[in-house]
A and B are shown apart, each in its own frame.
Chain A
Amino acid sequence: MTRQIIIPFGPQHPVFPEPIHLDLVLEDEKVVDVIPSIGYIHRGFEKLVEKREFPDYVYIAERTCGICSFIHGMTYCQGIEQVMNIEVPERALFLRTIWSEYSRLHSHLLWLGCFADSFGFENLFMNAWRIRERILDVLEQTTGGRVIQGACKIGGVRLDIDNEKLGRMSNDLDSIREEIDVLTTIFLRDNSIKHRLKDIGVLQKADAYQMGAVGPVARASGLAIDIRKTGYAAYGKLDLEIATEHEGDSYARCVVRARELFTSIDLIKQAIRTIPDGPVDIKVTGAPDGEYFSRSEQPRGELIHYVKGNGTKFLVRARIRTPTLTNIPPLVKMLQGCELADVPVIVLSIDPCIGCAER
């Protein structure tokens, strides 16, 4: 019988942007079991709801993540708006959609860069992040913030984007699309990348569903789950094609995210073409009394902000269920049976955001 050894992997590791610890049970070079643990950056964000009035909690919700902060803020606001029956102006819903898709673009480009770095393709890493800068520039020009946008509020958005600027953004997206096309062609056609990613960390469709996989992880295993299809914000008024693959390996997860870059550009251009004129916020009075599970599609998958109010300025509960947390069980499944050398690539392939997961 082969002797089993346990190798601690993380919490600090060159490929991990954030700390996660994995105890890898090995037989020779093969991983036979994995025990994940987190908790290194738990910040108790959900507890802060007891000390911050519900309109101010938007700032806390946004700081859950430094990559998809806008979507966190928006999802929280949606929850409160549903409980309080607030009718958000149409233009604000379109602006939320536009900023959400810019967030997805910059998140996926960030991930492509980190992923290239994980398999030693430094030049590709720098190219992905160079394009990402153009996306961050737009976020900064339109909201004032590159990382934390602070543009969402209960009842709408804080800032408008004038139609002239929207037109320029749409034109810029054409050249950004060309650059992304060149970048993703390398990711998807380069033989060394294919060789490194194909058949690595396979997650079968049935396992993905049973284990609750979400986002690109689920879609790369053939599950067409995308919460944008529920029609929140302005997504119900836009044509959205869900990108799915069926192999369930690390390459398929890369393909899905690459395809989603183009989907995001299409959605932004559609939203810019059809955005109505009008106000971008309404005055909110009163306090939430009720509960709602607000759902949205983050770059990493389904995000939930559960809010429960009792009619006072302080919520009883704000729970944030992030996609990385729910993608940890599928990650355990992917790692079982892989080679030790493939662990960094497989972990990166779920696009882990530990700051989000721990809150």
Chain B
Amino acid sequence: MTIEEQLTTPVEIGNLIGRVEQFRNEGYRLVQIGCTALGDSYEINYSFDKDYGFRNIRITIKEGTEVPSISGMYWGAFIYENEMHDLFGIRVRGMNIDFKGTLFRTTIKYPFGNPVPKGEEQ
């Protein structure tokens, strides 16, 4: 079976925009942004691809941390960032299209995340 090489690099949240910009300048396409809840923290994976070379960068954030949007560099990122907000309750700053919690209209608020952030209780 063919095994695809997958490189994951941890990145500080402060360096996220710079690293994403680097990927964009090198001609990578955005493959996905995905979140994993780990106790009181979250792992967020930003995946890129160029000529079938898969690269992944990862930030790990604490509950309540605001994440900068990358939609200024990858216009389509808004779909993943809104998803991350609606399902996990991650606040994303500066999205080009902000659905304000209405992309996924779930009965339970932030069903995949931890308790609702302060100020956003219904």
Which residue on chain A has the smallest CB distance to residue B105?
Answer: A39
Q: Which residues of A pack against B, CB within 8 Å?
A: 35, 37-40, 42, 44, 46-47, 81-82, 87-88, 93, 209-212, 225, 227, 229-233, 236, 292-293, 295, 302, 304, 306, 308, 316-317, 319, 321, 325-326, 328-330, 358
- Knowing that A39-B103, A231-B2, A292-B6 touch, tell me 18 more A-B residue pairs with CB under 8 angstroms: A35-B97, A38-B103, A38-B104, A39-B102, A39-B105, A42-B105, A42-B106, A46-B112, A47-B112, A225-B29, A227-B52, A233-B1, A302-B31, A304-B32, A319-B34, A319-B36, A321-B34, A330-B76
Say whether chain B's binding surface is mostly helix, strand, loop, or mixed. mixed
Task: Check if B112 sits within 8 Å of A236, measured CB to CB.
Answer: no
A251 to B105, CA, bound (A): 34
* Contact (Cβ within 8 A) A212 B54: no
Please tell me if B23 contacts chain A, counting CB pairs below 8 Å: no
Of A229, A316, A321, most buried by chain B (CB within 10 Å of CB) is: A321
Cα A35 to Cα B106 in complex, Å, equals 18
A210 B3 Cβ-Cβ under 8 A: no
Taking residues whose C-beta sits less than 8 angstroms from the other chain, chain B's interface range is: 35 or more
B78 to chain A: which residues have CB within 8 Å? 329
CB nearest to A329 among chain B residues? B76
Which B residues are within 8 Å of any A CB, using their own CB? 1-4, 6, 29-32, 34-38, 45, 47, 52, 54, 56, 74-76, 78-79, 83, 86, 97, 99, 102-106, 111-112
Q: Does the CB pair A308–B36 fall under 8 Å? A: yes
Question: In the complex, which residue of chain A has the Cβ closest to the Cβ of B75?
Answer: A211
Inter-chain contact A329/B2, CB cutoff 8 Å: no
Main secondary structure of the interface of A (DSSP, over half): mixed
**CB closest residue in chain A, given B34:** A319
